[in-house]
Amino acid sequence: MDLNIKINNNGHLDIGGADTCDLVEQFGTPVYVIDENRIRDNYNRFYNAFSKYYSDFKVFYACKANTNIAVLKILEEERCCIDAVSPGEVYISKKLGFSGDRILFSGNNIRNDEIEFVNGEDVILNIDSVSALKRLAESIKPNGKKISFRVNPMVGAGHHGHCITGGEMSKFGIMETEAVEIYKLAKELGFNPVGMHSHIGSGILNPEPFKLAIESTMNIAGKVHLEAGIDFEFIDFGGGVGIPYTPDENLVDLDTFAKENMALFKAKLEEFDMGQPTLYLEPGRFIVGDSSVLLVTVNSVKESYRKFIGVDAGFNTLLRPAMYDSYHHIVVANKMNEEATQKVDVAGNVCESGDLFARDRPLPDIEEGDILAILNAGAYGFTMASNYNSHPLPAEILVKDGEAFVIRKAQTFDDIFEKQSIPKHLE
Ligand code: LLP
C-alpha cells in the first residue's frame, strides 16, 4: 500500500500536519486540500532521480494537472519549468515569474492570434503540425527563433483510451515519415529548430512503453540530425508517469526507471553522435497527484436496491471517476481506525446516474455528517471541475506544516452567473 495515508491521534485523517476534520469545521465542504511539502518532495524526488543519471536535465511541470497559482508558485520557487498547453497557462506562468525560457508551449489546434500571443511571450514553441508551422511563419518574423516539434513515436499508453497520445489514432504530433522534411522546411522558413518532443500518454505505471518511446523518438531524432543537419539543444520525452490510485498499485521504482531510461537515452545519443542535448521531462500527475484530497460530507445514507452514500460534491467537482472510470481511494476521515463493514456506492450530488465516486466500495459504517476524503485528487481534479448543475466551484486550501491557507475561495452563486446578460427584448 503506497497511498500516503496518515492518521493522527484522534483517529482522523491527517494532511500535511493538519487534521482534516478541523479543516472541514473551518472551511466547510466540498474542499480541496493540498499539502505543500508533498509537492516539493515529489518534485525533488523526480528531479534527483533523473539528474543523478543525466545531469543536463530540466523538469517542465505539466501545469494542466493543477494550475492553482500557489501550486505554481511553489514549483517556481523550486526552480521547476512549465509545460503549458494553452495561452492561459502561458499567461499565468509568466505572471508568476517563470521566464520565457522556462515555459514550453505545446498547443494543438491553436488559432493564429493564440500563436501570436504565445510567441510574444517569448516562450519555447513546440509545434504539432505543418499547418501550425506555416501559420507561425506567416504571422511572425521567424528571425532564427528556436522551436521544436512534437513527433508521434507510434507508441502509446495510458490508464484510459482518452489518455493515450501516441499511435495511429492520436491527433498529436507529426509523423515519423514527415519529420526530416518538416525540420528542413522550418530552417528554410527562417526558424532554428533545436528541439524534439514526444508524449505517449498519461497515468502509466508500466515502465516498458516509456523505453519503447525513448527508443522510437531517438531514432527519429537521430534521422533528423543526420538527414536535416539538426543539432538538438533539447529532447523532451513528455510526462505520463502514473501514481498508485488503488491500494495494490505501486509506483515505478524511480531510481531503476531513471537509470534504465537514461542508459537508453545516452546510448542513442552516442549511436547518432548527437552530443549532449538537455533532457526535458514533463510530469504532471507525479508532482501533484498525491498532494491533495477532496473532502466531502455525507448528507444522505440511502438503502435502495443498493446502498448509496450520498455526498455534497459530484463529477462537477472531481470528474475522473465519471469520465475515465478512474478509481480514487476513499476513506472516512473522522473514522480512520474503523474497519470496513459493508460495500457501498458513493454517489455525488449531480443529477445524473453516472455521478458516482465508487461502486461496491468496502467502507466502515457511515452516518450522515461523516467526512469522506477522496484521495489523490491533486492532479486533474480542480482543473477539470465545472459549474455543471450550477454548483459553485469549491475552495482550495494549502497546508504547510499544519498551518492552513485559503488559496482559492469557493465560488458564490453570483460568480457562476456574473458573465451572463439578458438582451433588451427579454428584460
Ligand atoms: N505533457 C504533455 C504534452 C501532456 O499532454 C500531458 C498530459 C503531460 C505532459 C502530463 O502527463 P502526466 O504526467 O500528468 O500523466 N485528465 C487525465 C489526464 C490527461 C493528461 C493530458 N496530458 C486524467 O485525469 O487522468
pLDDT tens profile 396-413: 999 999 999 999 999 999
pLDDT of residue 388: 98
Q: What is the arithmetic mean of pLDDT over 386-392?
A: 98
pLDDT of residue 264: 98
When the pLDDT of each residue in the chain is averaged and rounded to a whole number, the result is 96
From 19-28, 128-137, 262-271, 354-363, the region with the lowest mean pLDDT: 128-137
Which atom of ligand 1 lies closest to the CA of 150?
A: 3
Q: Which residue has the cell 470528474?
A: 319
pLDDT tens profile 192-209: 999 999 999 999 999 999
Which atom of ligand 1 lies closest to the CA of 197?
A: 3
Q: Whose CA is nearest to atom 9 of ligand 1?
A: 239
Cβ atoms of residues 200 and 210 within 8 Å: yes
- Does ligand 1 lie within 6 Å of residue 83's CB atom? yes
pLDDT tens profile 180-194: 999 999 999 999 999
pLDDT of residue 141: 85
345, 339, 332, 340: which is closest to 302 by C-alpha? 345
pLDDT of residue 140: 85
| Helices 254-271 + 36-51 axis angle, to 10 | 40
CA atoms of 151 and 179, how far apart (whole Å)? 7
CA atoms of 321 and 329, how far apart (whole Å)? 11
C-alpha cell at 116: 501570436
- Does ligand 1 lie within 6 Å of residue 284's CB atom? yes
394, 363, 316, 400: which is closest to 24 by C-alpha? 394
Residue 386 predicted with pLDDT over 70: yes
Q: With residue 147 as reference, give the H or E element that holds it.
A: strand 146-150
For 46, residues 6+ apart whose C-beta sits below 8 A from its C-beta are 59, 241, 254, 281, 283, 286, 287
Cβ atoms of residues 314 and 391 within 8 Å: yes
Please indicate whether residue 81 is annotated as part of the active site: no
Which atom of ligand 1 lies closest to the CA of 106?
A: 3
- Greater confidence (136 vs 1) lies with 136
Which atom of ligand 1 lies closest to the CA of 326?
A: 25
Q: In this structure, which amino acid lies at residue 42?
A: N
Measure 104 CA to ligand 1 centroid, in angstroms: 14
Which entry of 21, 80, 163, 351 is annotated as an active-site residue? 351
CA atoms of 399 and 38, how far apart (whole Å)? 10
Q: What is the arithmetic mean of pLDDT over 365-389?
A: 98
Measure 324 CA to ligand 1 centroid, in angstroms: 13
- Does ligand 1 lie within 6 Å of residue 173's CB atom? no
Residue 85's SS3 state is coil
pLDDT of residue 407: 98
- Choose the residue to mutate in 151, 197, 202 for probing ligand 1, maximizing ligand atoms within 8 Å of C-beta: 202
**What is the per-residue DSSP string for 359-423?**
EEEEE----TT-EEEE-S-SSSSGGG---GGGPPPPEEEEEETTEEEEEEPPPPHHHHHTT----
- Does ligand 1 lie within 6 Å of residue 236's CB atom? no
pLDDT of residue 4: 83
- Does ligand 1 lie within 6 Å of residue 285's CB atom? yes
Measure 296 CA to ligand 1 centroid, in angstroms: 26
Q: What is the arithmetic mean of pLDDT over 212-225?
A: 98
- Choose the residue to mutate in 39, 43, 64, 159 for probing ligand 1, maximizing ligand atoms within 8 Å of C-beta: 64
pLDDT tens profile 118-147: 999 999 999 999 999 999 999 888 989 999
Residue 1 predicted with pLDDT over 60: no
pLDDT of residue 3: 87
